[in-house]
Structures are given as structure tokens and as C-alpha cells.
Amino acid sequence: MIPQVTLTNRLKNYYELTKPKIWYLLVFTAFGSAITASYTTDNFLSPVQWIFLLVGIVTGSAAADALTGYNDRDIDAIMDRTKARPIPSGRISPKNALIFGLLLASISLFCAWSINYLTLGLMAFGLFDNIIVYSKWLKRKSQTNIILGGFSGAVPALIGYVAVTTENIEIGLVMAGLVFLWIPTHIWSLALHVKNDYTKAGVPMLPVVAGEKRSVQVIAGTTLLMVVFSIIPFFLNQFGLIYFITAISAGIIMIVTSLWLLVRPGEKVSWLLFKISSPYLTALFVAFMIDAIFH
């Protein structure tokens, strides 16, 4: 007998399609930026605006991941890391995944429009950059895919800020810029760990195209650039020692790990760098919020 698919299992499949481990952090950067904007400019969102912001970011990020999953269904079926995902495993049909992703995108755009036109424009840009520029145009053609597609990862942080205000916009731009610079280290360290998968699928990620030696050099360079950039907010006169100490301490951990990868390249160290990169970004955004509230 064929096992019956329950409603709970269907919901779990669609939830998995959105790749929640990816959008959790993006939603948090939007939340962190909104809180930071509120306390650095004394502008505060109403409860209804908060609902539109959070629902919009969740559905927008989930839509992007569902629709890139739709685009990538053929290569996902080839790679060991992704072949069990809902579409390649047959748990969700490509047509249903496409409809679901478009529905989520529509909700996100409506929520963004309900806040202001700037958040609407940024939401539309983020969706286009991730689904079309990164997934459709560049992922299978160029090693710059992560760089040009990285703008979409930075968008939620900027949306969170401008949903509150455009005062001191340089703060929002720096917070978004930090996410943008974080993405190469995060993704390329993962790509180095699963290089064979990308090679098998013919995806020209940096480690596949440039090789291990060159890749670890680039990763070390992007990590250093990210850490140096992370100190900039301290000099904007809006953040104090809480943020500065956090940025320096967490940055040292990232640099040391990337140098370890440079000296001893391998899957274990690249996996470690990938795993600590998310807590690193989380720590910085927590520090942004705490410092903004108490500065």
C-alpha cells in the first residue's frame, strides 16, 4: 500500500521548500535593522506596521527560496546535499512549487506596499535579484553568481531600516553592506566543503572554477574585508563599546578561522567557517540593537 500523505506532512513539505534555515537569519537582520532604526532616530513602527514588515520579510524570503528551488530542481536532483529536497524527491510537484512561490511573492509585495513605496521597491528588487539574476541567469554560468546575487541577501536589512525611517540612512546602508560582504565567506566556505557536488552538477562556484588554493585565499580576503567593514558603525557616532567589542571579538574568531583554512585547507575547516559565520552575523545584529537601545 502507498502511505497516505497527511495534511501535516504536506505542510511540512511546503515549509521545507522555503528553506527556513536560510530565511530565519534574513528575517532577523530585518528585525534588527528596524529596532536599530527605531532607537537611533526615535521613530517607531505601529503594531500593524510591524506585522506587515515581518510577514513581508518572511514571505518574501520564503518565496525567493521556493522559486529558486523551482529553478534549481534539475541540479538539486544531482547533488547529494540537495537531492532529498521536496521537488527533486517528488514530494512537491514543480507546478505546485511555482504556484506556492508566486503566492508568497505576491503577499510579500503587498505587505511591502502597505508600509511605503521604498520598501516595495526594495522587496521587488530583492526578489528579482535572487530568483532571476542569481538563480536563473548567473548560477550556472559565472563564478560571480554569489557576488551579484548577494544584493538580495542584503535587502532585508535595508528594508527593515527604511520601513522605520530614512533618517541617518547611512546606518541602514552599512548594516545591509555588512550582510552583503558576509555572503561570500558564508557561501564559498560551504561550496568548498561540498565542492564535489557542485562539480558533478556543473555549477561554476568559486572552488570549482578557481580550485582549492585560490579559493581559500579569496575566502580569507573576503573575511578580512568583512571584519574591517564591520568596525565602520562605531565611527558613525551612533554605536558605542558594546557594538565595538562585539565586532572586534567576533571578527577575530572569523579571521583566525579563515587563516586556519588558508594554512590547512580542507572540508572540516571550511565547514567550521561556514557554521560559525551565521552566529557571527547574528551577534553583530544583536549588538546593533543593544547598543542602539542603551547608547
Q: What's the pLDDT score for residue 266?
A: 86
Tell me the C-alpha distance between 128 and 84, whole Å.
26
Which pTM was predicted? Answer: 0.94
**47-50: long-range pairs with CB below 8 Å, 24+:** 49/115, 49/163
CB 161 within 8 A of CB 147: no
Query: How many CB atoms lie under 10 A from the CB of residue 84?
Result: 12
What fold, for 8-294? Tetracycline Repressor; domain 2 (1.10.357)
Tell me the C-alpha distance between 45 and 37, whole Å.
10
Tens digit of each residue's pLDDT (9 = 90 or more) over 121-166: 999 999 999 999 999 999 999 988 999 999 999 999 999 999 999 9
Tell me the C-alpha distance between 124 and 131, whole Å.
11
Q: What's the pLDDT score for residue 1?
A: 40
**What type of residue is 267?**
E
Q: What's the pLDDT score for residue 7?
A: 87
Q: What's the pLDDT score for residue 13?
A: 96
Tens digit of each residue's pLDDT (9 = 90 or more) over 9-49: 999 999 999 999 999 999 999 999 999 999 999 999 999 99
Q: Which of 205, 189, 184 has its CA nearest to residue 197?
A: 205
Tell me the C-alpha distance between 291 and 181, whole Å.
22
Q: What's the pLDDT score for residue 131?
A: 97
For cell 528596524, the residue is 34
Residues of the chain with pLDDT under 70: 1-4
**Domain ranges within the chain, ordered by starting residue:** 8-294
